[in-house]
Structure 1
């Protein structure tokens, strides 16, 4: 599905095709000619009449065509338009049509009661008369060509992970220059990523100063661009003497060795938000360490296996996973922000455990969030 050559006319045509398919053959969807007042307005808007065959009751949809939709655009442009429309005409509904709409923006549009349709069949529309209720899910990621160049930074990659950790772990205010220095990233990159985050309403700024961070949503969005077991190569092990024997062996190691083996995953989540029992025991170890996974396994009384395994030794994708770790009964555990991302991006029931971790974090911010950037 090519989006690169879309024009407003073809976007409208393809968007209405999606709408007609979702409504079915018993409905009429007709584009109305622009009124005299509208001819001098925004040429991307269109007025569409929808009614069922044989029914005199109809509804009008004001179509707002957008080649891209950000959370910031929803708040600054679409919401004021929708509020005005509700004041002057209760029988017309605002519907955004775009090539693709992200899950975050879809959620905002539904929250505000604004309809939407994209060309991957993400759609939401609620009309009381005639009764229309549509909610479908299409692509969760943009199907644009991977070769298409974009100047916008995304939340994928190591550098984004470092900046996300800082934004979540430290209470604002702070500036891009301070974040770049603390995360050891280039200022141009940090500035581009902050622009992206502001477009998604994940941060808010007053001039150049970041004044607030929606860190729960930021961690969720980061997890959408990250996969715990894909980005961290792992070695499978079994604990023949049980989990408690592994913890006992870990506590007995010299301090230097013990600090390089950090707990994450289900067992780490259970330290703050018990949700279930069982699951795999997961530890990070440094990628550049001279100690091989088999050596760590020997120290922890583990046996290597090719399949299955109740213990995973993860080779850390980035040293950031070892930053701001916490001690829990003599075991080092990743920081809560890292733990939330790891669980949300993990297999099985781990995403539910990640949501439980976020709930704990929201209720206990003072216990984990720093009031200033680390030097």
Structure 2
């Protein structure tokens, strides 16, 4: 493995080459002697034949978590503005997340990542560069946290607890409520703190940005990942199928009635609260104790490879049914799960997820665990 200084120098070299390529041959990007120990490099940028130039002081770093932006970069940018308003701070990294990019823009910090996410705005000489690159970290890029990410079923379980149950939280309570190992919970909480998705006072989680937490989780998952679902047609239409679901509750499996193993998610779950569009594909989670083919037979569905109007999804974890609700005999996932699935879904579903988040922010009493019940909250298997 390369020593940190070598990796930093290589990253800086790639960043300067990328900036030169964006500006074109009529501009010069020159690395000047760096007299400061605070920044990694000093760049002089000028157009050919123009005496006016701007100076960019560079922070080259392998990862840019949001907490790093606020704790380390923002104070540096504020200091620069006080000393010389024509000197700009430029962050160069292999990849920068959308949340970190937004924080950098809000605080007037230029950024360039090697996937093509660039935002550089200089008043003199006038330079405006804004390009879009990767929304997800490439495998070659250093993760913003080297230990634990928001991918996987275990992370989803903790995300639901942090979303549905209002703070304050202790790591021990989350460990017991989620039935995840204490070490895993601690590592993931460190990740969430780096991303400014939670804020702690000492050992207590005092605040959770649950809407951004759901968005961050959705970016790490895909509702319709390969092999996790099958498509079907319903001969008499989706409304008729929904009306018929309650009649199937007498069919039992080893874990309970049929109706407890089939739950509505996605667009139809979101449409209980918001109406972005009408209809869409009906998505049903199927519990692990039920066979998808048996469920399809019971519902009278016809298997298809294209043009499905019903999708049967393998339930990835019991948490998807946590705090679900029966309406007219049909089980619907909780609003937080519906929002997460829509955000991680295809087509118009992310827009439905955003509309549902707006509803949830305006009406927390409609879906969050009450404070009186928060201490006993636990993901049920």
In the alignment, does 2:308 pair up with 1:309?
yes
Structure 1 spans left out of the alignment, 5+ residues: none
- 2:254 equivalent in structure 1: none
In the alignment, does 2:15 pair up with 1:20?
no
Structure 1 residues 168 and 286 mapped into 2: Cα distance closer, same or farther (>3 Å)?
Answer: same
- 1:283 equivalent in structure 2: 284
- Structure 2: how far apart are the matches of 1:245 and 1:5? 65
| Deviation digits for residues 78-135 of structure 1 (CA, Å, limit 9, x no counterpart) | 1111112112211111111122222221121112111011222221111122111111
The DSSP-based 3-state class of the residue aligned with 1:68 is coil
Q: Under a length normalisation based on structure 2, what TM-score does the superposition of the two structures give?
A: 0.90
- 1:260 equivalent in structure 2: 261
8 Å CA contact 1:232–1:316 kept in 2: the answer is: no
1:96 corresponds, among 91, 100, 103, to 91
Count of aligned positions:
366
Structure 1 residues 222 and 191 mapped into 2: Cα distance closer, same or farther (>3 Å)?
Answer: same
8 Å CA contact 1:324–1:334 kept in 2: the answer is: yes
The RMSD of aligned alpha carbons is 2.2
- 2:253 equivalent in structure 1: none
1:74 corresponds, among 45, 56, 69, to 69
- Structure 2: how far apart are the matches of 1:209 and 1:60? 43
Worse-superposed segment, 182-191 or 315-324: 315-324
1:61 corresponds, among 56, 75, 78, to 56
- 1:171 equivalent in structure 2: 166
8 Å CA contact 1:232–1:314 kept in 2: the answer is: no
8 Å CA contact 1:265–1:343 kept in 2: the answer is: yes
Structure 1 residues 253 and 339 mapped into 2: Cα distance closer, same or farther (>3 Å)?
Answer: same
8 Å CA contact 2:86–2:123 kept in 1: the answer is: no
- Structure 2: how far apart are the matches of 1:338 and 1:177? 23
Structure 1 residues 47 and 4 mapped into 2: Cα distance closer, same or farther (>3 Å)?
Answer: closer
- Structure 1: how far apart are the matches of 2:334 and 2:8? 47
- Structure 2: how far apart are the matches of 1:187 and 1:15? 40
Q: Under a length normalisation based on structure 1, what TM-score does the superposition of the two structures give?
A: 0.92
Structure 1 residues 202 and 306 mapped into 2: Cα distance closer, same or farther (>3 Å)?
Answer: same
What's the offset of the Cα at 1:353? 1.0
The DSSP-based 3-state class of the residue aligned with 1:7 is helix
What's the offset of the Cα at 1:254? 2.4
Structure 2 spans left out of the alignment, 5+ residues: 251-256
8 Å CA contact 2:168–2:204 kept in 1: the answer is: yes
Structure 1 residues 231 and 329 mapped into 2: Cα distance closer, same or farther (>3 Å)?
Answer: farther
The DSSP-based 3-state class of the residue aligned with 2:347 is coil
8 Å CA contact 1:231–1:317 kept in 2: the answer is: no
What's the offset of the Cα at 1:170? 0.7
- 2:242 equivalent in structure 1: 247
| Deviation digits for residues 7-40 of structure 1 (CA, Å, limit 9, x no counterpart) | 33222221111111111111111122234xx3xx
